[in-house]
Amino acid sequence: MLNFEEELKKFQPSLEVEDIEKAVYQEDLTDMSEILKEVVEKSK
């Protein structure tokens, strides 16, 4: 049987995920919000 506590202690996120996370947080999301507004308006 798996010991989930031990497995969680061993967990290391991949470097790729951390790199993506940094890039997303640094990105200006204004453009994305504008796109979402446009899509919502077109669907009305």
Query: What's the confidence (pLDDT) of residue 28?
Result: 65
- Confirm whether 21 is domain-assigned: yes
pLDDT at position 5 is 92
**Given this model, what pLDDT does residue 40 score?**
92
Q: Does residue 34 form part of some domain?
A: yes
| DSSP state string for 5-20 | HHHHHH----HHHHHH
27 is in which domain, residue-wise?
A: 12-43
Return the pLDDT at 29. 67
- pLDDT score at 23: 75
**Is 32 a domain residue?**
yes
Q: Tell me, yes or no, whether 38 lies in a domain.
A: yes
In a domain, 16, yes or no: yes
- Residue 44, pLDDT score: 82
pLDDT (tens digit, 9 = 90+) per residue, 1-44? 889 999 999 988 776 877 877 777 777 666 788 888 999 999 88
Give the number of other Cβ atoms within 10 Å of residue 31's Cβ.
9
Q: Is residue 33 part of a domain?
A: yes
